[in-house]
Structure 1
Amino acid sequence: MRARRAAITCCAALIGAAAVAETDLTLLTPPERAALGAEIRATVLANPELVQPALAPPPPAFYEDEINADLARIRAEAAQLFAPGHTAFGLSKNPVAIAFFTRANCPACAQAEADLRALAETSPIRVAMFDMSGPDAALAARLELDTAPSYVFETMMIRGHMPPIVLQKYIDKAAKP
C-alpha cells in the first residue's frame, strides 16, 4: 500500500509539474527541476520496489517456446551429445560439457575451435567435436542447427561463433550448481 501511495505521489508530482510548465517539463526553471528531481529521487530511494521491474525484467515471453523446444531437443539427443567416449578435448570429468558443431572449410569454426582449446586449458570444460557437414549432419538437423559453428550446452544452444569472453561467461554460468 505504501509503495502504491508513493507511486501515486510521484506521478502526481510529475503531472503537477507538467501542468505548471504548460505540459513541457523542459520549461521548468532550474530550481523547479531540481525540486522535482529531489522528490522523485526520494520516492524511489524510499520505495526501491518501484524500479525493480525495470532493473530486472523477466525474459521476453516470445522466446520461451523456442528455449523450451531447444531444451527438449538437447534432452532427446543428450546421450549422443555428451557421450563420454565421443572424440573430445578437455578433461572427461569436467562439469561443463559442450557439444561443438563445425563444418569443413569454415574459418569461423577453426577460430572457434582454437578459442575453445585455449579455454579448455583454464576452464572446467569437456568439448565433444561434431561435423555437421559429414557424419553428424543428421544429429545437427535433429537439433535444428543450421549455423556453423554451434555450441550445445546441457541447458542451451548457441548458434554462431562467440568470442572467448562471451563463451567464458556461458561456461561460468553452466558450471554453477
Structure 2
Amino acid sequence: MKQLQLHALMAGATIAMFAAALAVNELFFLRLEFAPGINWLYLPAGVRLLATLLFAEAGAVGLFLVGWAACAFIFFPDDPLRSVAGGFLGAVAPYLVYLVMRRRFGLQASLANLTPARLLCCALVYSIASPLLHHLWFGLAEHKSGLLASFVAMATGDFCGTIVVLYGAKLALHLLAPRRKAG
C-alpha cells in the first residue's frame, strides 16, 4: 500500500508542477503563443520531461491526467477526442524519451549522473519526439496540412522550455545536495 501512496504522491507532484508551469507560461509568455498549446517558450514541456525523469511511470500518469484536463478545460473544451489525445501524447513522448535515456545513460532519480551535456541531449531528443508525435496526430487523425511551421514552433518552444526547467532543476538539486566535509 505504501508503494501506491508513493506513486499517487509522485503523480500529484507532477500535476502540481505542470499546472504551475502552465500558469507561469500563460501569465508571462502568452504573447509567445503560436497556436493554442504551442508556444515559442513552453515551460510545461520541461516539466513533462522532468517529471518522467524523476518519477517514471507515476510521472507519466500525472502528465496524462493534467494534460487531458488542460486540453479539456483550457485549450480545446469542445473537442473531447483531442483532449484525450493531447493528454496521451503529452505523457507518452517524455516517457519514451525517459526509457531511451535510462537505457543509454543509466538514469538515477536524483539526476546526479546527468551531466549538462546529457541534459542537453535529453532536451533535444524530447523536443523533437514530442512535436513529432503531436504532429503525426494532427496530420493523420485531424487531417491538418501545412504542419511544418507549427512543428518548428512547437519543437523550439519545447526545447527552450525544457532547457529552462531541466537546468533549473539540476541547479536546485545541486544546491540542495548535502555537502561532504573535506577531511
Report if TM-score (shorter chain) is over 0.5. no
TM normalised by structure 2 equals 0.27
Quick check: which has more Rg, 1 or 2?
Answer: 1
Q: Which has the higher helix share?
A: 2
Higher RCO structure, 1 or 2 (CA under 8 Å, sep 6+) = 2
Q: Which has the higher strand share?
A: 1
TM normalised by structure 1 equals 0.27
